[in-house]
Amino acid sequence: MGHSNVWNSHPKNYGPGSRVCRVCGNPHGLIRKYGLMCCRQCFRSNAKDIGFIKYSLGWYECLQIKG
């Protein structure tokens, strides 16, 4: 049994390598908040279907809020 067999013999249930996107399986850029478990690319393409609304405050609205 070589070093790589011993090193990878136990499944990894913790850390960033243990979690993947539920849509595409990508482990990078994962959004875990609210239990989404979705990468940022899939979130951007599916945010409206999930029910997220994008609020955009322009510079003019920010000035009105402050002053």
20-64 per-position pLDDT tens digit: 999 999 999 999 999 999 999 999 999 999 999 888 776 666 666
Class of residue 41 by CB neighbours under 10 A (exposed 0-12, middle 13-18, buried 19+): middle
Helices and strands of the chain, counted as H and E runs: 3, 2
Token readout for 62 is 């920010």
| pLDDT of 67 over the 60 cut | no
CATH architecture of the domain covering 19-66: Irregular (4.10)
pLDDT band at 16 (very low <50, low <70, confident <90, very high): confident
The domain limits of the chain are 19-66
How high is the pLDDT of residue 60? 65
| pLDDT of 17 over the 90 cut | no
